[in-house]
Chains A and B, each alone.
Chain A
Amino acid sequence: MKTALSVLKVNALSLLAFPLLVISMAIQLVQKALGKLLVFLGAGVTLLLMAGLNAFINNPWAIIEGWAAVAVLAIFFGIFTVLVALLIHFLGAMIVTAVAAIAGSLNGLLSVVFELSNRAYSSLYDTCQFEIDDLQCSAEGKIAVVACVFWHFLNLFHKLVVLVFSHAFPISIAAAVGFAGYLIFTIHHSISTSFGIGIWSYLRLFPVVNAVFAVLEVLVILSTVVTVLLALGAEWNKWGNQL
């Protein structure tokens, strides 16, 4: 009777420990990803600036309307440049500070949740381990331990996570290569389905400036994602080795 109750207890505790383990790990992953928020922000700003520059090169007179505006701008060009530079500097600093503050407070909140869930998981895990040790010493030792299905499942999951994250860097390299391949394939497939021609022939239909900016925009997106993937892979790899 005591053995049956112990088996039941181990299974129940393992079942409850599972979501706590998942939450703890998810929080760790999110916390590390939050550090990359500024990289995405930088990529977004770069894309916006490129779109603006592209529009300006394509039709500068639509932006600076008429010769009078050009003359006024030329006269006040010095002041104008200084004002724009100051505006960009202050706005940039404000945005970076705001994003860092939001990411920081979110990180703090996540740390508290991580601390709680991790502590709860550890307690449950230790209790289960203690019960398993007891069961192994009992008369029905082996059968009783085998009956703790959820305990084995929890351990298996934990080992699997450790295995995956201790190889996170090579996985992230594969993911980055996969993403680059997928992006190029998607673009090629989309063009070939709609136009029946290849990427190069398609780009040649557009003015050089538009084609160059399109390629640069894809490269910015690609390099951002690849950088983030590799950086996360390296961090997760380190974390996986510590687990």
Chain B
Amino acid sequence: MKMRRKIWFLLAIVGFSLLWLAGCSKEDTEKQWDANCHIYMDNLPEEYGELPEEVRENTKIRLSLENVAAGKTYNVELTEENEYEETIELLPGTYAISQVYFRNNALIAVDAWTEVSSVTVEKEGETLLPVFISKPEELTAWIQQTNPGETILAEDIYSRKVQWNGIVYDMQQLPGVIDFTVGGEESVASGETASLTSNSQKGIAMIVQNTDAQKSMPASQCQCIGFRFDHIGASLPGGLQVGASVKEIAHEETGLLGTPDYCQGTPFIGMGLDDTSLVYIDPSSGDRITLELDAYTGCVQSILYEFQRYQ
């Protein structure tokens, strides 16, 4: 008799536990009302799709909806992965919409917004909430500028040409076009290198070297030995751009530059351990291209073009 009681007691515990585990979760609280809100990007220009996938994957559009009565907040993130749209299940009611954040460091500054500051979600219904970007035409124009044009695509990779914001330059002309003044006062020791940047143009730096064997000198007086590009606005011959994948660049048969002459850093590319650099050298001119890969994504994060390095 005592044994039986024990069994029924155990059965009750197991039964209640199972009921509790299978019972009403937080998600089900929302699910039962079938009140949905579909949030989507409305005016992302078609040209946005022309950007490299690695660049698009960095885009994050964030906003939150706060239930005015319950004080409950729901966060939404529109990304390349969810194709910039998401449907969330909510409690029926009125929701205050937070400020919208559009983040992608590889693009120009983009503001995003919603037409309404609050939205009402009905029971057994779907409410649409479009999100807009300000001045989509500016983004379109910028994307078109960043696309490698026919001229740069036809150039030889070691021709020292670069397409910067839609215009093709000989790299040695760049100091005359862009004011590389930031960091000019810095003293550079003999044989050392420094980089000068511009106040007006982001994502480009001029690399200088003190070639005087005797004394230090200000960076502004050093010799220009190359340029570093860490922005999608720069295209090198063949369409080499920041954001390109290793396969696009370094594949032995199909890559833009083929197998590198040598590599630096960790062989574990894209595992978040350390950076890796792929180095290419032109045997005739001695020009060197160093592609720094992002430790996490394994994509090109900066392109360094140096003149006559030979090694």
Contacts and interface: CB of A to CB of B under 8 A. Distances in A.
Contact of B246 (A194, A207, A214): A194
A211 B273 CA distance: 14
Interface of A: 13, 16, 19-20, 51, 120, 123-124, 127, 193-197, 201-203, 205-207, 210-211, 214, 217
Nearest to B246: A194
Interface string B249-268: 01111110001101111111
Contact of B14 (A16, A196, A205): A16
B11 interface: yes
Given A196-B252, A205-B259, A123 B266 contact: no
A206 B250 contact: no
Contacts of A217: 268
Interface of B: 3, 6-7, 10-11, 14-15, 18, 245-247, 250-255, 259-260, 262-269, 273, 298
A202 B267 contact: yes
A206 B262 contact: yes
Contacts of A205: 259-260, 262-263
The 5 closest A-B pairs by CB, nearest first: A196-B252, A214-B267, A205-B263, A194-B246, A196-B251
Contacts of B15: 16
A120 B37 CA distance: 47
A165 to B, nearest CB: 24
B251 A195 contact: yes
A203 B269 CA distance: 12
B265 A210 contact: yes
Contacts of A195: 246-247, 250-252, 255, 259
A207 B263 CA distance: 7
A196 B260 contact: no
Given A194-B269, A206-B263, A214-B267, A123 B10 contact: yes
